[in-house]
Amino acid sequence: MQENPHHLVMGELTDYLTGETVPDTHDERFRQKIARHLVQVCGYEKKQIESRKQVIIKTGEKTARLWMDFLVSTGDKTGMMIRYAPGSLVTRRLPNLALSRLVYPYQIPVVVTCNGEDAEVINGVTGKVTGQGVDAIPDRQTLMALDIAASFPKVSQALHDKASRIAFACEVDGACPCDTDVCILD
């Protein structure tokens, strides 16, 4: 079991999507709630949802590793990224939009920030908020209907570099070195 002085570990629980044993924390309970919502309410198959994907971000001489909570597949591409973030959703808007441009060489079209009780849905291409509340998270049918040509534009190198700096500044600089969601490599 992982020891982290900043997170109360209440034991272990079984991950809803993978069946793996994970530390039982308040944050993990909310992540499990989100996973169950995606399957039971939104209609996604568990195999469409990748959880805890590691992403390496670089800016200048600095490198860090972050984890994406959920990436939801539309077949060949990931159509939705969901990040759990306790507290205010608005403060996570910019870094999550930036991260949606760093996971793959294309823009993930639907970006969701969820604190377990509320959610904000953002159009990854335009950056505009398209929905508020957990019920606004697109269901399987909606996500599968995305226009592949218009919804998954390639991320230019200039946009990738800007997104890397934003993600690093918001998610890594000043982050607690004990935080399990951030690992500074350099």
Task: Domain of residue 108: give its range.
Answer: 12-174
Q: Is residue 151 situated within a structural domain?
A: yes
Dump pLDDT digits (tens) for 49-101: 999 999 998 888 888 989 999 999 988 899 999 999 888 888 899 999 999 99
C-alpha–C-alpha distance, residues 7 and 84, integer Å: 15
**pLDDT, mean of residues 163-179:** 74
Provide the residue count of the chain.
Answer: 186
Number of domains in the chain: 1
Q: What is the mean pLDDT of the chain?
A: 87
pLDDT at residue 184 in the model: 56
Give the per-residue pLDDT at 1: 40
- Domain membership flag for residue 4: no
Q: Which two tokens stand for residue 133?
A: 């509340």
Under DSSP, is residue 171 helix (H, G, I), strand (E, B) or coil?
helix
Supply the pLDDT for residue 180. Answer: 47
> Mean of the pLDDT values across residues 135-141?
95
At 59, which CATH number?
A: 3.90.1570.30
CA dist 130 and 111 (Å) reads 10
